[in-house]
Amino acid sequence: MKKIIVTCRLPGNALDRLSKKHKVHIHASRNEVMNDDELMHRIGNADAIITLLSNKIDERLLEAGKKLKIVSNYAVGYNNIDVNACTKRNIWVGHTPGVLTDTTADFGFALLLACARRVVEADRYVRENKFDGWYPDLLMGTDIHSKTIGVVGMGRIGQAMAKRANGFDMNVIYYDKEGDLGLQNAKYVDFEELLAKSDYVSLHVPLLDSTKHLINKEALARMKQSAILINTARGEVIDEAALVEALNNEVISGAGLDVYEAEPQVHPNLLALNNVVLAPHIASSSRETREEMANIAVENVIKVLNGEEPLHAVNKVKVEE
Ligand code: 8YV
């Protein structure tokens, strides 16, 4: 019987599969994640942990996790984990790609639509009993069809976003560090051209040293004054202070944000702006997808505890014979 730590209760029944065969400690609260101190206290006995993005898995913790065989992240992104430190210790890092691609792109598009057509403002307007008559320029937005969307990072989610944009008769351009991917439905351009030509800029890159503050003051200045910026990737890809300044000074026209630099904190000035739509990091949050993510996170653990490779690993370690 192995010992497994789960730092937050997960949706669906996936964890039952683990508890049938192993001793599983699940952090009790649904709306709270196990804190660093408790994780540190428990890690010494654990053969596996299932973590969230808010769990920082660093050298110090791994050093204490002498028995650990896998860190299974309940996310596709894994910027919370020191992957090299895991590999050095023969610890697998698992993640949950694929299942959240379309769900995340759906939400990216929902943010785009909401910003362009002022859906949140309109809802507030009606609730506040301001709808007292029809006027030609009442809450005028901007069109989506026939406009240009610039997708930054043409991986799984970027491509799903492009597909949705095609369906809305948009012109799709993209930038990717791999260069021109030879796609039929989107045109590769360099980053500066993408910023200059896009009516909507949508971010789909992982957080790396090279993508931190990719959207900074200079990048924002290159964008159209009418442009709308969408971020369902990672908050740190945008210099949030520079974005606030750009929105205040009408350097760009709006933003739809699901992620923030210092989550769960949101820059206070963003809260005061009408031309932004804000969500609490929920792009992958459909019941179906969140349950499927749990299935994969659990399957990654089961495979490793059976001496196999995880279903989805981000590193490669030696499998013990
Ligand atoms: C999750 C995500 O909501 O998978 C990711 O990388 O950002 C989201 O799907 C989040 O990571 C939950 O830990």
Output the CA 78–ligand 1 centroid distance in Å.
Answer: 9
Q: What is the share, in percent, of the chain residues with pLDDT greater than 90? A: 97
Residue 263 annotated in active site: yes
Ligand 1: residue of 27, 31, 53 to mutate (most ligand atoms within 8 A of CB) is 53
Tell me what pLDDT residue 75 has. 97
Residue 30 predicted with pLDDT over 70: no
pLDDT digits (tens, 9 = 90+) for 115-169: 999 999 999 999 999 999 999 999 999 999 999 999 999 999 999 999 999 999 9
What residues are in contact with ligand 1 under a 6 Å CB criterion?
A: 52-53, 74-77, 100, 281, 284
Output the CA 255–ligand 1 centroid distance in Å.
Answer: 20
For ligand 1, atom 11, name the residue with the nearest CA: 75
- In the block, tokens 């944000």 appear at 257
Q: What is the C-alpha to C-alpha distance for residues 139 and 118, in angstroms, rounded to an integer?
A: 7
Tell me what pLDDT residue 321 has. 57
Sheet of 276-278: strand order equals 187-188, 171-175, 148-152, 200-203, 228-231, 254-257, 276-278
pLDDT digits (tens, 9 = 90+) for 1-29: 999 999 999 999 999 999 999 999 999 77
Structure tokens at 287: 């019941």
Output the CA 61–ligand 1 centroid distance in Å.
Answer: 21
Q: Residue 278 class from Cβ within 10 Å (0-12 exposed, 13-18 middle, 19+ buried)? A: middle
Q: What is the C-alpha to C-alpha distance for residues 57 and 39, in angstroms, rounded to an integer?
A: 10
Ligand 1: residue of 6, 51, 100 to mutate (most ligand atoms within 8 A of CB) is 100
Output the CA 95–ligand 1 centroid distance in Å.
Answer: 10
Q: How confident is the model at residue 31 (pLDDT cuts 50, 70, 90)?
A: confident
Residue 32 predicted with pLDDT over 90: no
262 forms beta bridges with: 265
Specify the ligand 1 atom closest to the Cα of 54.
13
Tell me what pLDDT residue 97 has. 97
> In CATH, which of 3.40.50.300, 3.30.70.100, 3.40.50.720, 3.20.20.70 is domain 3-97+287-305?
3.40.50.720
Q: What is the C-alpha to C-alpha distance for residues 314 and 294, in angstroms, rounded to an integer?
A: 17
Phi, psi torsion values for 183, nearest 5 degrees: -80, 150
- In the block, tokens 């596996």 appear at 48
101-278 belongs to which homologous superfamily? Answer: NAD(P)-binding Rossmann-like Domain (3.40.50.720)
Instruction: Kindly state the average pLDDT of the residues 43-65.
Output: 97
Residue 30 annotated in active site: no
| Start-end of CATH 3.40.50.720 domains in the chain | 3-97+287-305, 101-278
For ligand 1, atom 10, name the residue with the nearest CA: 75
Contacts 24+ apart (CB under 8 A), 238-244: 238/203, 238/213, 238/214, 239/213, 239/215, 240/267, 240/270, 241/267, 242/213, 242/215, 242/216, 242/217, 243/215, 243/267, 243/270, 244/269, 244/270, 244/273
Residue 234 annotated in active site: yes
Structure tokens at 126: 């009606």
pLDDT digits (tens, 9 = 90+) for 239-257: 999 999 999 999 999 999 9
- Cα end-to-end span (Å), the chain: 19
Tell me what pLDDT residue 63 has. 97
